[in-house]
Structure 1
Amino acid sequence: MTAPKNQRLAYVFALLTVGLWSTVASAFKLSLRYLQPAELLFYASIVSCIVLLAVILWQGKGGELRRLQRQDWLASLGFGALNPFLYYLVLFKAYELLPAQQAQPINHTWAITLTLLSIPLLRQKITGRQIVAIAVSYLGVLIISTQGKIWSLHFASPTGVGLALFSTVIWSLYWVFSTRDRREPVVGLFLNFCCSLPLTGGYVVLVHGLRPVESAGLLGAAYIGVFEMGIAYVFWLKAMKLSTDTARIANLIFICPFLSLIFIHFLVGEQILPATYIGLLFIVIGLVLQGRSGREDGGLRS
């Protein structure tokens, strides 16, 4: 039976999601003080698997796990290699190299990257408004990355900026491939994380070796596993199912990067630069323009 629509409750779940997602940039940065990126991913993924399995059983969908076929596991291995394995390895490394106030807004441009990738992958035609949206958003990236000194083109960490941008490519590819995924969303995410664990664990052993880690690092990984990789995703799906107007719910995401800067300042201790606010404003304007263009054109076409 389809759950009845409830816009007010949809807002509650959406705002809870935005609140949780707004804290994860700080959690990434704090946890990386104690863990290598691969270690953070490994321990967070273990927690995420436990949380997602609990959600599946609580929702009464455990039977779907017993009905899985060989192709489902093969798909999960492919998806899991892309996300969480490759995506979070790249993203966490970007956070290790960059201030959180730079890494978080740059990563938020994935929707713009998706527009660019949709041209060769989905054969979508790009509109004039989308070109403007892309230019405005990447001007914002340039302002943030150079701390406002755009004419000097001096980057504190060119590698970090490159990895943050590359993470948007990985996520966009994952999104494109996921449109053809017929698995139940939470079950699919659980399988992706399970199948990525051997990859992440093997990477940790080969590159870093198993070593004792401080409890603060493990607590950070647990927080990320529960919320970034688990509960927040489930809350967002719930909000979208309950909503009578998904566009209004989706627009709440624009609160996230601004709210995130508050947590970054008070929890991580970064002094937020004026260039960060200005650049983020450009990025959000570009995302709004891109979103309106997508709605007018009926979204992505294959």
Structure 2
Amino acid sequence: MNNRRKALLFGLATVAIWSTVASAFKIALRTLDPLQLLLVACGVSILALTAILAARGKLGEITRMGRKETLRCAGLGAINPFLYYVILFQAYDLLPAQEAQPINYTWAVTLSLLSVPLLGQKLSLRDLGAILLSYFGVVVISTHGNLLGMEFSSLKGVGLALGSTVIWALYWIFNTRSKAHPMAGLLLSFLTGFPLILAATLLFSELPPLEPAPLLSATYVGLFEMGITFALWLTAMKYAAQPDGGGTARVANLIFLSPFLSLVFIHFLVGETIHPATVAGLAFIIGGNLLMQYGPQKR
């Protein structure tokens, strides 16, 4: 099997798994509150990342980080997993999955907006058009297509979903200059974020019940949202970057399959009836992302 096919298979596996996590969030939130879900999921992801690094002989990368990189990765733990997932899970708790999931895909647009003041980048008219197109999609989804009535399932939930994109974009901007091993850096961030999650759970909630159903659903989130898929995606990009790998852009574009496939899982696993406005709004969001991605190469 050549590198092109390996890259495609690992990329498709990642996208397939990512497409299930929105459903997993909603199922887990039936028996756990957002903090309880995050506590278990973060703990599981720490174990998964540690095992993957150990199996690859890369666990020592954590101790080989310089002081600056160690502090950077540790500090980022307050953003991801702590702030990002607290806000994201709260949004999923308030919104139908078919609304929260597409809105979360506007993070790339948010990243472009924040790159202007934080990285000194400039936006073209094409970029501005792409941003407006994506956020128009958010309005279509949030109002179920009733643009004149402007009635939302949960205005707070929409605000939190959009807020999560700001947190996620900030995480990537602050992480742009990191020279740490990607998985080692992520593990260190999760190790420093876990005590914050535990403290917040003890202060504002309670420890999750030791029952099979909630623990299994949270374990799935920890493994496949925060842990294993990260390793699969890095592997796909590694193969794609090889001379016969076909290029990373080819694999990266597979991610646009995920939100539409996710709606299928949301319908059959969560039981939500998918509104036509959700599909239309998601098309606007993905269209905006594509328009921005294939604009002038100045980033």
Counterpart-to-counterpart distance in 2, 1:147 and 1:213: 38
Provide, for residues 83-114 of structure 1, a one-character-per-residue CA deviation record: whole Å limited to 9, x for no partner.
01000000000000000000000001100111
**Given the two structures, how large is their TM-score scaled by the length of structure 1?**
0.94
Give the 3-state SS of the residue equivalent to 1:118 in structure 2.
Answer: helix
| Contact 1:5-1:241 at 8 Å conserved across structures | no
Please list, as runs of the form range in 1=range in 2, the aligned pairs for 1:118-137 lying within 5 A after superposition.
118-137=115-134
**Structure 1 alignment gaps of length 5 or more:** none
Q: Which residue of 2 aligns with 1:281?
A: 283
Cα shift at 1:75: 2.0
Give the 3-state SS of the residue equivalent to 2:294 in structure 1.
Answer: helix
Q: Which residue of 1 aligns with 2:259?
A: 257
Cα shift at 1:213: 4.5
Counterpart-to-counterpart distance in 1, 2:262 and 2:217: 17
**Given the two structures, how large is their TM-score scaled by the length of structure 2?**
0.95
Equivalent position to 2:163, from 162, 166, 171: 166
Cα shift at 1:220: 0.9
Q: Which residue of 2 aligns with 1:51?
A: 48
Give the 3-state SS of the residue equivalent to 2:98 in structure 1.
Answer: helix
Counterpart-to-counterpart distance in 2, 1:135 and 1:62: 43
Please list, as runs of the form range in 1=range in 2, the aligned pairs for 1:105-254 lying within 5 A after superposition.
105-210=102-207, 212-243=209-240, 244-254=246-256
Aligned pair 1:101/2:90, yes or no?
Answer: no
Specify whether residues 66 and 114 from structure 1 end up closer, same or farther in structure 2 by C-alpha distance, changes over 3 A only. Answer: closer
Give the 3-state SS of the residue equivalent to 1:298 in structure 2.
Answer: coil
Q: Which residue of 1 aligns with 2:297?
A: 297
Equivalent position to 1:92, from 64, 89, 92: 89
Counterpart-to-counterpart distance in 1, 2:169 and 2:288: 17
Cα shift at 1:66: 3.3
Cα shift at 1:181: 1.1
Cα shift at 1:8: 1.0
Counterpart-to-counterpart distance in 1, 2:275 and 2:256: 19
Counterpart-to-counterpart distance in 2, 1:5 and 1:117: 39
Q: Residue 177 of structure 2 aligns to which amino acid in structure 1?
A: R
Give the 3-state SS of the residue equivalent to 2:219 in structure 1.
Answer: helix
Give the 3-state SS of the residue equivalent to 1:66 in structure 2.
Answer: coil
Specify whether residues 211 and 254 from structure 1 end up closer, same or farther in structure 2 by C-alpha distance, changes over 3 A only. Answer: closer
| Contact 2:69-2:178 at 8 Å conserved across structures | no
Specify whether residues 65 and 122 from structure 1 end up closer, same or farther in structure 2 by C-alpha distance, changes over 3 A only. Answer: closer
Counterpart-to-counterpart distance in 1, 2:184 and 2:130: 35
Specify whether residues 5 and 128 from structure 1 end up closer, same or farther in structure 2 by C-alpha distance, changes over 3 A only. Answer: farther
Q: Residue 260 of structure 1 aligns to which amino acid in structure 2?
A: S
RMSD, matched Cα:
1.4
Q: Residue 39 of structure 1 aligns to which amino acid in structure 2?
A: Q
**Structure 2 alignment gaps of length 5 or more:** 241-245
Provide, for residues 217-257 of structure 1, a one-character-per-residue CA deviation record: whole Å limited to 9, x for no partner.
11011101111101111111111111131111111111000
Please list, as runs of the form range in 1=range in 2, the aligned pairs for 1:49-88 lying within 5 A after superposition.
49-68=46-65, 70-88=67-85
Cα shift at 1:65: 2.9
| Contact 2:110-2:166 at 8 Å conserved across structures | yes
Provide, for residues 4-42 of structure 1, a one-character-per-residue CA deviation record: whole Å limited to 9, x for no partner.
981110000000000000000000000001111011111
Q: Residue 298 of structure 2 aligns to which amino acid in structure 1?
A: G
Q: Residue 253 of structure 1 aligns to which amino acid in structure 2?
A: I
Q: Residue 258 of structure 1 aligns to which amino acid in structure 2?
A: F
| Contact 1:34-1:213 at 8 Å conserved across structures | no
Provide, for residues 137-169 of structure 1, a one-character-per-residue CA deviation record: whole Å limited to 9, x for no partner.
111100000000011111120000000000000
Specify whether residues 126 and 211 from structure 1 end up closer, same or farther in structure 2 by C-alpha distance, changes over 3 A only. Answer: closer
Counterpart-to-counterpart distance in 1, 2:264 and 2:140: 19
- Percent of aligned pairs sharing the same letter: 54
